[in-house]
């Protein structure tokens, strides 16, 4: 339900406006602005309006979320909202729709800067990874690094291209070509192409007359050099891709565990006893969201470093015990954004013998939610067998052997067998 469901209803019109300003609007969009009693927008957008516009003009305030209350107060006056390009593509239209409900929103989109960038360069938009670094942690870029890939990134500001260039260079992608598109669609449009190596080198000596405009889009044509570590999306990244102290779900077992968890785009995982974070990090690289619970401070540091290095800096980490985390989630009514989003799947990698832990996790899951647990101890196996007899599911024994030196010969070294439980709530 929209957050303001009790406010007086009125139409909210969202109009995308490009660098060509008011003159580039469709007649219908221009008429909406001319007839509006109140107009919200950034100072740059409001400055594009002609002098004969009679509606009250209100510039955005900080923090941005506070503008929702201002719009709600004036909703009965059918306010017009000015936005950049396509408001529904990483834009304010998504925020407004979430807050007021789609039934109260009418959108007049303009071409997005992403579409304009592809039009200028001949890139096929459908073949690119499109991400935003505006207000986001730039390390998210690292999850998209791959040979011959193409990334289109919305910048946070004029410093973003240099920051991206440094990350690419350090990751072994220094020969990648960066095309910086500034103020697309207007008279000050500018397009520049250099390698990441050139960008990161020139950033320290860049002249004042070559400062990058805050309104820029970065097109990255990825080229890996010999220093690059080529990682798949997963599942089952090599163990040495993670910083760990030996407490890690080994890659072969991790691949099966992630398959059993059943990740899908946007799904939320709770990783209990997260260790070095390998399960939750790979879950996020496959498109999900994750909450990691770990009570060991040193391992929490490892999780943070691994999340940054592997392109999942938005991993939610709680340095606490599993039971304390579950109690905190319950007290927060099971759903406090940014803390404990409700799980679609739960993985128990540690603490399996904690009394009633399996039941507490099972109760948190929605219908079709998945509970997966691994153990290498007889006590843990007994707990999984008890829960299996009570709630059903599947139990498997996973055994992996790896080739290893045997004196002057070689032989198979068996890893500890893992008892693997999978339950799907019906």
Q: Is the pTM of the predicted complex or chain greater than 0.85?
A: yes
Q: Between 3.40.50.150, 3.90.380.10, 3.30.390.30, 3.30.750.24, what CATH number should domain 239-424 receive?
A: 3.40.50.150
Low-confidence ranges of the chain (pLDDT < 50): 1, 3-7, 207-209, 334-335
Residue 233: the pLDDT is 84
Residue 8: the pLDDT is 54
| CATH number, domain 12-110 | 3.40.1010.10
- The three-class DSSP label of residue 192 is strand
- The three-class DSSP label of residue 232 is coil
User: How far is it, in rounded angstroms, from Cα 247 to Cα 244?
Assistant: 7
* Closest by CA position to 247, among listed 349, 347, 380, 346: 349
Q: What does the DSSP 8-state code read for residue 241? A: G
Alpha helices in 3-90 (DSSP H): 27-35, 43-46, 67-73
Residue 7: the pLDDT is 44
Residue 337: the pLDDT is 53
Torsions phi, psi for 336 (to 5 deg): -110, 110
Residue-range domain boundaries for the chain? 12-110, 115-221, 239-424
Torsions phi, psi for 309 (to 5 deg): -65, -35
Residue 412: the pLDDT is 95
Q: Are the C-beta atoms of 420 and 260 separated by less than 8 Å? A: yes
Residue 409's beta-bridge partner residues? 406
Largest interatomic CA distance in the chain? 89
Q: Please state which architecture CATH assigns to domain 115-221.
A: 2-Layer Sandwich (3.30)
Residue 333: the pLDDT is 53
Residue 208: the pLDDT is 45
Residue 358: the pLDDT is 96
């Amino acid at each position: 339900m929209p957050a303001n469901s009790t406010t007086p209803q009125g139409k909210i019109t969202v109009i995308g406006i490009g660098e060509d300003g008011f003159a580039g609007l469709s007649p219908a969009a221009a008429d909406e602005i001319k007839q509006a009693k109140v107009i919200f927008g950034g100072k740059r957008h409001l400055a594009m309006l002609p002098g004969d516009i009679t509606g009250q003009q209100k510039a955005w305030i900080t923090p941005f979320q506070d503008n929702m209350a201002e719009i709600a107060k004036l909703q009965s006056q059918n306010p017009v909202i000015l936005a950049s390009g396509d408001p529904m593509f990483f834009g304010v239209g998504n925020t407004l729709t979430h807050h007021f409900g789609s039934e109260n929103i009418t959108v007049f989109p303009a071409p997005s800067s992403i579409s304009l960038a592809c039009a200028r360069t001949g890139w096929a938009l459908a073949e690119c990874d499109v991400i935003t670094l505006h207000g986001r942690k730039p390390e998210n870029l690292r999850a998209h690094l791959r040979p011959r890939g193409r990334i289109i990134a919305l910048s946070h500001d004029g410093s973003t291209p240099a920051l991206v260039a440094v990350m690419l260079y350090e990751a072994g992608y220094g020969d990648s070509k960066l095309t910086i598109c500034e103020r697309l669609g207007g008279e000050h449009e500018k397009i520049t192409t250099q390698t990441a190596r050139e960008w990161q080198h020139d950033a320290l000596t860049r002249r004042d007359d070559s400062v990058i405009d805050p309104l820029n889009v970065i097109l990255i044509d990825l080229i890996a050099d010999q220093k690059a570590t080529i990682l798949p999306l997963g599942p089952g990244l090599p163990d040495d891709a993670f910083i760990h102290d030996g407490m890690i779900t080994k890659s072969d077992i991790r691949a099966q565990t992630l398959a059993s968890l059943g990740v899908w785009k946007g799904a939320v995982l709770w990783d209990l006893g997260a260790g070095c974070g390998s399960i939750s990090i790979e879950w996020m690289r496959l498109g999900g969201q994750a909450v990691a619970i770990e009570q060991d401070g040193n391992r929490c540091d490892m999780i943070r470093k691994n999340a940054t290095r592997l392109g999942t800096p938005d991993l939610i980490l709680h340095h606490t015990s599993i039971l304390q985390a579950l109690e905190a989630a319950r007290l927060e009514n099971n759903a406090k954004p940014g803390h404990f989003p409700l799980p679609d799947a739960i993985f128990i990698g540690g603490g399996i013998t904690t009394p009633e832990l399996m039941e507490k996790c099972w109760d948190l899951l929605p219908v079709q939610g998945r509970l997966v647990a691994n153990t290498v101890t007889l006590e843990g196996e007994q707990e999984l067998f008890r829960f299996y007899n009570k709630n059903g599911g599947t139990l498997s024994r996973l055994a992996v052997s790896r080739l290893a030196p045997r004196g002057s010969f070689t032989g198979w070294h068996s890893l500890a067998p893992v008892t693997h439980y999978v339950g799907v709530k019906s």
